Chain A
Amino acid sequence: MEVKNVSFSYNQKEDQLKSINLAVEPGKITTIIGPNGCGKSTLLEVMSSHNAPQKGQIILDGKLIQQYKPKELAKKLSVVHQKNEIPFDINVENLVSYGRMPYKRFFHHHNSEEDEEVIDWALSITNLQSKRKEKVEQLSGGERQRVWIAMALAQKTPILFLDEPTTYLDVYYQFEILELIKKLNREYNITIVMVLHDMNQAIRYSDWIIVMKNGEIVTEGSPKEVITEGMIESIYGVRAIVNHNDQSGFYVVPMGVARRNDNAT
Chain B
Amino acid sequence: MKKTWLTFAVVTTMLVVVTFFSIVNGSLEIGVAELIRGLLFGGNEDVEVIKDMRFPRIIVSLFAGANLAVSGLLLQAVMRNPLAEAGIIGISSGANFVALTVISFFPTLFFWMPLFAFFGGILACFLVYSFSWKSGLSPLRLILVGVAVNAVFTALYESFNYRGYTTTSSAKATASTLSQQTWDDVQTIVIYGSIGLILSLLVYSWCNMLALQDKTARNLGLHVTRARVIISAIAVYLASVTTATVGVIAFVGLLIPHIGRLLVGSDYKILTTFSILSGALLILTADTIGRVFLAPTELPASIIMSLIGGPFLIILIRRSDRIYGG
Contacts and interface: CB of A to CB of B under 8 A. Distances in A.
Interface of A: 10, 45, 48-50, 70-75, 77-79, 81, 83-90, 94, 98-99, 101-102, 104, 106-107, 109, 152, 155
Size category, B interface: 20 to 34
Given A71-B221, A79-B219, A107-B202, A85 B213 contact: yes
A87 B221 contact: no
A70 B265 contact: no
Nearest to A154: B220
Contacts of B218: 49-50, 70
A85 B220 contact: no
Given A10-B135, A85-B211, A85-B213, A74 B220 contact: yes
Nearest to B268: A87
A264 B261 CA distance: 45
B216 A101 contact: no
Contacts of B318: none
B205 interface: yes
Contacts of B267: 90, 94
A101 B206 CA distance: 10
A87 B266 contact: yes
A74 B212 contact: no
Given A87-B211, A88-B266, A101-B209, A81 B221 contact: no
Given A89-B266, A107-B202, A109-B205, A84 B219 contact: no
A152 B218 CA distance: 12
Contacts of A78: 219
Contacts of B223: 70
Contacts of B323: 88
A98 B213 CA distance: 13
Contacts of A101: 205, 209, 220-222
Nearest to A11: B135
Nearest to A10: B135
A50 B266 contact: no
Q: Is the interface of A mostly helix, strand, loop or mixed?
A: loop
Contacts of B261: 88
A49 B209 CA distance: 18
A136 to B, nearest CB: 11
Nearest to B266: A87
Nearest to A78: B219
A81 B322 contact: no
B213 A73 contact: no
Contacts of A45: 215
Nearest to A99: B220
Nearest to A137: B322
A89 B260 CA distance: 13
Contacts of A89: 265-266
A72 B221 CA distance: 7
A231 to B, nearest CB: 31
Given A70-B222, A98-B209, A98-B220, 19 more contacts: A70-B221, A73-B221, A74-B220, A81-B215, A84-B216, A85-B211, A85-B212, A87-B208, A89-B265, A89-B266, A90-B267, A94-B267, A98-B208, A101-B205, A101-B209, A102-B221, A106-B202, A107-B202, A109-B269
B221 A74 contact: yes
A75 B218 CA distance: 12
A187 B108 CA distance: 73
A79 B217 CA distance: 11
B203 to A, nearest CB: 9
A85 to B, nearest CB: 5
A137 to B, nearest CB: 9
A83, A87, A94: most-surrounded residue (chain B CB, <10 A):
A87
B215 A79 contact: yes
Contacts of A83: 213
A156 to B, nearest CB: 12
Given A10-B135, A89-B266, A48 B212 contact: no
Nearest to B203: A106
A72 B219 CA distance: 10
A49 B221 CA distance: 11
Interface string B210-237: 0111011011111100000000000000
7 contacts: A45-B215, A75-B221, A79-B219, A83-B213, A85-B212, A88-B323, A106-B202
Q: Which 8 A-B pairs have the closest CB atoms?
A: A74-B221, A102-B221, A71-B221, A87-B266, A101-B220, A89-B265, A79-B219, A70-B221
B216 A81 contact: yes
Nearest to A104: B205
A109 B135 CA distance: 32
A257 to B, nearest CB: 34
A18 to B, nearest CB: 20
A98 B209 CA distance: 8
A86 to B, nearest CB: 8
A5 B202 CA distance: 42
Contacts of A88: 261, 266, 322-323
A106 B209 CA distance: 13
